[in-house]
Chains A and B, each alone.
Chain A
Amino acid sequence: NAGVTQTPKFQVLKTGQSMTLQCAQDMNHNSMYWYRQDPGMGLRLIYYSASEGTTDKGEVPNGYNVSRLNKREFSLRLESAAPSQTSVYFCASSTGSAYNEQFFGPGTRLTVL
């Protein structure tokens, strides 16, 4: 039981390049989330998917797109990377109930030069 997995672990991009961050969970969770973590700040929600087939914007969605490929997988795409997107990205999942905890992946450390 791997929980929440993310690939890649590290990535360096040049400004303007694109890439997709992958996330998968094996806990049969309905809801999945993408957060970013910047130094000295709490995590901020980029996008979430309350259930398979739905996605919605979070607090900081600009410059990102997402795809809920199936119940297990939720990907985050940067179409044209900018230095301001240098951050650590975390994927999380939960059952979807407001009362249940979220489980997190190990993170992707992204640097945009």
Chain B
Amino acid sequence: KQEVTQIPAALSVPEGENLVLNCSFTDSAIYNLQWFRQDPGKGLTSLLLIQSSQREQTSGRLNASLDKSSGRSTLYIAASQPGDSATYLCAVRPQRDSNYQLIWGAGTKLIIKP
């Protein structure tokens, strides 16, 4: 059964630092991996989608990488800002599951200190 883990559960860094969030999954048979952002009391905003054939995707200050063979993805945030404070969730779409669901990590709560 596919499982997704995000470590650490929480992270606090000073403004301006570059940082990396981690996501690991147990079964490499995936269609894709998606990173989301969730602000307190709000819905989920899709940040980046990486297909299984891709190694990375970039959007602005965000870069997500995927190493399917080792079951790992990282989300790199450059020059962090207080507005980046949120919970970041990763989710994989497994190939072995026919009901199209996403399997989710529990998230990393990021706090950027001014």
Contact = CB atoms under 8 A, between A and B. Distances in A.
Nearest to A45: B101
Given A40-B106, A41-B106, A90-B43, A99 B32 contact: yes
B81 to A, nearest CB: 23
Given A48-B99, A56-B99, A107-B42, A102 B106 contact: no
Given A42-B107, A102-B46, A58 B4 contact: no
Contact of B100 (A50, A107, A109): A50
Interface of B: 4, 31-32, 34, 36, 41-46, 49, 51, 89, 91, 93, 95, 99-107
B89 A31 contact: no
A103 B101 contact: no
Contacts of A44: 104
Contact of A31 (B44, B45, B100): B100
A48 B49 CA distance: 21
Chain A interface size, under 10 / 10 to 19 / 20 to 34 / 35 or more: 20 to 34
B35 to A, nearest CB: 10
A98 interface: yes
Contacts of B103: 42
Contacts of A94: 100
B50 to A, nearest CB: 10
B46 A101 contact: yes
Contact of A58 (B46, B91, B99, B107): B99
Contacts of A45: 99, 101-102
Contacts of A100: 49
